[in-house]
Amino acid sequence: MSPAILALAVLGGVAVLYATEWLPLWLSALVGCALMVLVGAADFATVFRGFSDPVVFLVAGMMVVGEALFATGAAHDIGQRLVRLAKGRERALVFLSVLAAAGLSAFLNNTGTTVLFIPVIGGIALASAGKIRAKNVLMFVAFAANTGGMLTLVGSTPPLLVQAALTHAGYRPFGFFEFALLGLPLLGLLLGYIAVFGYPMAQRRFAAESLALSFSPTNAASSSTFKKFFSVLVLLLCIGLFASEAIPLALTAVLGAVLVLLFRCVSPREILQRLDWNTVLLLGGALGIANALDKSGAGKLVAEFGLRILGTGFTPWAFLAMVTGVAILLTQFMSNTATVAMLSPIVLSMAQGFGISPHPLMMALATAGAAAYATPVGTPPNSLVLVAGYRFRDYVLLGGLFTVLAYGTIVLLAPVFWPF
């Protein structure tokens, strides 16, 4: 049996473990990594390289900065001020947070954007005296960060990948804000979806659960004013470096973590006890599985099979629908970068073979590659907000319908703005 088939079999088993939660998500991911090596889908170094991926250090580093904001009481103070701004209304906070996260993610890394929101929303929940629940807000912040990455060329990696493929093949590149022709309708759709379906469902689903969950404060009263100020200063420094990209994003997060630890804003012992290792291990494991799928050729096998069943007798719309569907399916379990990097050369070559413009297909691919709303492992923002205590089925219920709506919107609008 080929490595690609074996890798797909392992992925199917891991998907079942994710869905049933028979094991913790992070353990399911580790089991998947181990099986990928054992069945020969990829070697050990390839699979477990996921744990040395820069995004893992980005996530872990900013978690340390976030813990410092809680340990010093800075997050609690910020939360009190933002609660007054939202006037204690949770629904207003949801929409303000979604718009802010999407706007920042259009120009900043969506992972870094989500990481910055987690301690702020946690502080708001703590300061609201029960009026606001972090679980009712954070998943929608992650969805907004994913969607905001669709608004500009630099919002996320998929637009850059399709841009490189088009340029290399000699086609017209997309404009910097051209991605917003699809991204803005999807953001508007997200706001409407949250108002009509998402937020009311979150209220019902999480009504009986604890208010703060993972966001309980840690001895904030004993922290000095200097430490509180310094932790905020480090957060602002990270935001500035994220925006300027003067140094790599992961290095920014590690630098922030080192600074708050050196200045004792939070103790190393507290970090070891309170850091959300579930998210760190899950993210590293998911990246490892994605590496194995790429190395074994499993992802390419799925993509080629899906595209070949179209045949030459199908319309360009059918081809577009297949491309978008394959991308959205794969990106729920693979990184959007790996998904788009794998599919873009195949889609481009097939568009040339069909004699149609690649622009609607490549735009749909870039957008669909970021539309991972239905699982906690689809994108780093989805994984990050697991700290609020979400379960796998929460993503399926709150994000599954929106994924279907996003699919329909992409297929409908892409040929309108970029004719075949």
- Helix (H/G/I), strand (E/B), else coil: 173: coil
Phi-psi region of 129 (alpha: psi -120 to 50; beta: other; left: phi over 0): left
Q: Cα–Cα distance between 233 and 264 in angstroms, integer?
A: 14
CA 12 vs. chain centroid, Å, equals 21
Measured CA distances, 56 to 123, 253, 317 (Å):
24, 10, 38
Looking at the structure of the chain, the number of domains it has is 1
Q: What is the pLDDT along the chain (420 residues), one digit of tens a residue?
A: 788 889 889 888 887 887 677 888 788 889 999 999 999 988 999 889 888 878 788 778 878 887 888 788 776 676 666 666 777 688 988 998 899 889 888 877 788 778 878 888 887 787 777 778 889 999 999 999 999 989 988 778 788 888 888 887 789 989 888 999 999 999 999 999 999 999 999 999 887 554 444 444 444 445 578 888 898 899 889 878 877 778 887 898 899 999 999 998 888 888 888 777 877 888 788 778 878 877 888 767 766 776 677 665 568 898 899 899 999 998 998 778 778 877 887 788 778 777 889 999 999 999 998 899 999 988 889 988 988 889 999 999 999 999 999 999 999 999 999 999
Segments forming the whole domain that contains residue 205: 3-417
pLDDT attached to residue 214? 46
Decide if 32 contacts 282 (C-beta within 8 A): no
Name the pTM for this structure.
0.71
Residue-wise burial string across 239-278, b where 16 or more C-beta atoms lie within 10 A, e elsewhere: bebbeeeeeebbebbbbbbebbbeeebbeeebbeebbbeb
pLDDT attached to residue 107? 77
Q: Cα–Cα distance between 235 and 23 in angstroms, integer?
A: 35
Q: Which two tokens stand for residue 155?
A: 């919002």
